[in-house]
Amino acid sequence: MIVVVCDLFDIPGSLILHLDDIIGARHPVVLVVNKADLLPKDYHEQCLIMWFKRFAKSLELNIQAIHLVSALKNLGVRELAADLTTRRRPGQNIYMVGRANVGKSELINALLRISIGRSAHKVLASH
């Protein structure tokens, strides 16, 4: 399973170009839109999700789900963790990809905090 992390305020610039050529069209993808804590309080989540669905269609990826999260503030992270747990087949790896500064490491740390409590393990760098 591929988890694509992008920045809410720079969707086109934060997505990896031609990712479909790299991973193939058949791999299931979960799109995670990070930094949702910066949205105004009165935003309409369903409108944003619909826009992301239309945009994601143009990427020719097998998008299975879209999550709005804030890794920094833990908004939507529990729901993402539950969804990934449900979607993941036994023994299946989860690959988290995204451009620099979209919040991959912070998201991994947030997921670790949820799964094992206050984690002593932190992701300091990713490649």
Domain assignment present for 111: yes
Tell whether 72 is covered by a domain.
yes
pLDDT value of position 117: 63
Question: What count of other Cβ atoms lies within 10 Å of the Cβ of residue 92?
Answer: 9
Residue whose C-alpha is closest to residue 6's, from 98, 111, 107, 112:
98
In a domain, 56, yes or no: yes
pLDDT value of residue 126: 54
Residue whose token pair is 């409108």: 47
In a domain, 123, yes or no: no
Sign of dihedral through CA atoms 88, 29, 51, 33? positive
Residue 6 lies in a domain: yes
Distance, C-alpha 24 to centroid of its chain: 18
Give me the number of domains the chain comprises. 1
Q: Considering the chain, what is the average pLDDT of its residues?
A: 87
The model's pTM: 0.85
Report pLDDT digits (tens) over 67-85: 999 999 999 999 999 999 9
Given a cut of 80, is residue 120 above it in pLDDT?
Answer: no
Flag whether 109 is in a domain.
Answer: yes
127 domain residue, yes or no? no
Give residue 52's Cα distance to chain centre: 12
